[in-house]
Amino acid sequence: MPRSHRLDFPGARHHVMNRVTDRQDLFTDDATCALFLDTLDQVPRLFGARIHGYALMPNHYHLMVEVPRSNISEVMQYVSGSFTQAYNRAHGRDGPLFRGRFRNAVVTDDAYWMHLLAYLHLNPVRAHLANKPEDCLWTSHQAYLDAKLAPQWLTTDELVGMFGGRQQLAEYVDAVQRKRRGAPEGFDPDHFFAASRTTEAPEPPPEPVKRSYEEALQDVAGVLGVDVSEVTSLPRGRSANVPAWLGVWWVLRSTGMSQTALGKRMGVSRTRVSQLRGKLHRLAKEDEAVAKAMAKLEDQLAKV
């Protein structure tokens, strides 16, 4: 059965969730929670996404993510893949940590978006893991109460402004906790882990601009100042091959071509294509020049 199309469009605000495989507890120690947040640290730089809130529960997580580039799938593939690899290395294990595809809801209503933040921050309280949201170490609540505690990758100003200030935000969360304020229409936690959905029907987004395979290769060659042949060359070996790795990523990103189709075009397996894209993302975390090249390509696509 084919996968359903993921709801997304430029500027979409997503409530993202996923459960740990077999409903096992995972986020139960500081080291594991910190490792997951360290993964989020790279998301704004690599993908242009904005993370507005989070809550780590023992057997699942919630994120509030905005994607100006309509790339929620790519963002979450990176988050899940990078965290899983790092966790497995640290614990001498292999295999997936999460139950397949993440769930997401596109949030178009501001009242819903604001209440969602309160819901995330009260999650540990409802689960009797803490008495009050200020005591929760692994949600974004403390960062919203004190700007000095907010990590650089977390965007708090927008929602603070929507509430009218940090004090008003804290009062809203308190009112929800004391059941003096109800949820907006359509806010239904019982269906959070159902199929991907939207809080209301948004305006139809414009059709995404797609590059041809040849145009995508020329894009990469132009940004790097190399010949196209370097972008299509996939020699064996462990040394970094930035033009080719960037070419694989950009073809997938800008043309809509599947990993299988690209693999056939380049004479490699689908698995190899996936590996090369992953290598590029890991390299971009350490190499600012690679990250800038990726950002330049994204900018070019936005201007087409």
- Summarize the confidence of residues 146-162 as an average pLDDT: 94
Q: According to the model, what pLDDT value does residue 236 have?
A: 66
Its domain, for residue 23, covers 12-198
**Closest of 61, 73, 60 to residue 7, by C-alpha:** 73
DSSP line for 253-299: HHH---HHHHHHHHTS-HHHHHHHHHHHHHHHHH-HHHHHHHHHHHH
Q: Please check whether residues 141 and 178 belong to one and the same domain.
A: yes
Is 261 inside a domain boundary? yes
- Summarize the confidence of residues 14-42 as an average pLDDT: 95
Q: Please check whether residues 187 and 222 belong to one and the same domain.
A: no
Residue with the larger pLDDT of the pair 125 and 301 = 125
Asked whether the beta carbons of 99 and 21 are under 8 A apart, the reply is yes
Residue with the larger pLDDT of the pair 7 and 304 = 7
**CA 303, 206, 254, 222: dihedral to nearest 10 degrees?**
-10
Q: According to the model, what pLDDT value does residue 209 have?
A: 57
Tell whether the model's pLDDT for residue 121 goes beyond 90: yes
Per-residue pLDDT band for 206 (boundaries 50, 70, 90) equals very low
Q: Which of 87-91, 135-139, 192-196, 254-258 has the lowest mean pLDDT?
A: 192-196
Burial-class residue 200 by CB neighbours within 10 Å (0-12, 13-18, 19+): exposed
Say how far apart CA 150 and CA 144 lie, in whole Å. Answer: 7
Q: Which of 68-72, 108-112, 193-197, 254-258 has the lowest mean pLDDT?
A: 193-197
- Summarize the confidence of residues 222-230 as an average pLDDT: 91
Q: Please check whether residues 194 and 219 belong to one and the same domain.
A: no
Q: Please check whether residues 50 and 192 belong to one and the same domain.
A: yes
Q: According to the model, what pLDDT value does residue 197 have?
A: 56
Q: Does residue 44 sit in helix, strand or coil?
A: helix
Is 203 inside a domain boundary? no
- Summarize the confidence of residues 220-226 as an average pLDDT: 92
Q: Please check whether residues 295 and 227 belong to one and the same domain.
A: yes
Q: Please check whether residues 69 and 127 belong to one and the same domain.
A: yes
Q: Please check whether residues 141 and 58 belong to one and the same domain.
A: yes
Residue with the larger pLDDT of the pair 235 and 161 = 161
Asked whether the beta carbons of 128 and 36 are under 8 A apart, the reply is no
Q: Please check whether residues 148 and 229 belong to one and the same domain.
A: no
- Summarize the confidence of residues 103-129 as an average pLDDT: 94
Per-residue pLDDT band for 238 (boundaries 50, 70, 90) equals low
Is 259 inside a domain boundary? yes
Is 6 inside a domain boundary? no
Is 7 inside a domain boundary? no
Q: Please check whether residues 222 and 189 belong to one and the same domain.
A: no
Q: For the domain that residue 273 is a member of, what is the CATH number? A: 1.10.1750.10
Q: According to the model, what pLDDT value does residue 237 have?
A: 61
Per-residue pLDDT band for 303 (boundaries 50, 70, 90) equals low
Q: Please check whether residues 130 and 194 belong to one and the same domain.
A: yes
Tell whether the model's pLDDT for residue 208 goes beyond 70: no
Q: For the domain that residue 100 is a member of, what is the CATH number? A: 3.30.70.1290
Mean of the per-residue pLDDT values for the chain?
87
Last residue of a domain, one of 198, 225, 240: 198
Winning range, highest mean pLDDT, from 3-7, 31-35, 295-299: 31-35
Into how many domains does the chain fold?
2
- Summarize the confidence of residues 140-144 as an average pLDDT: 97
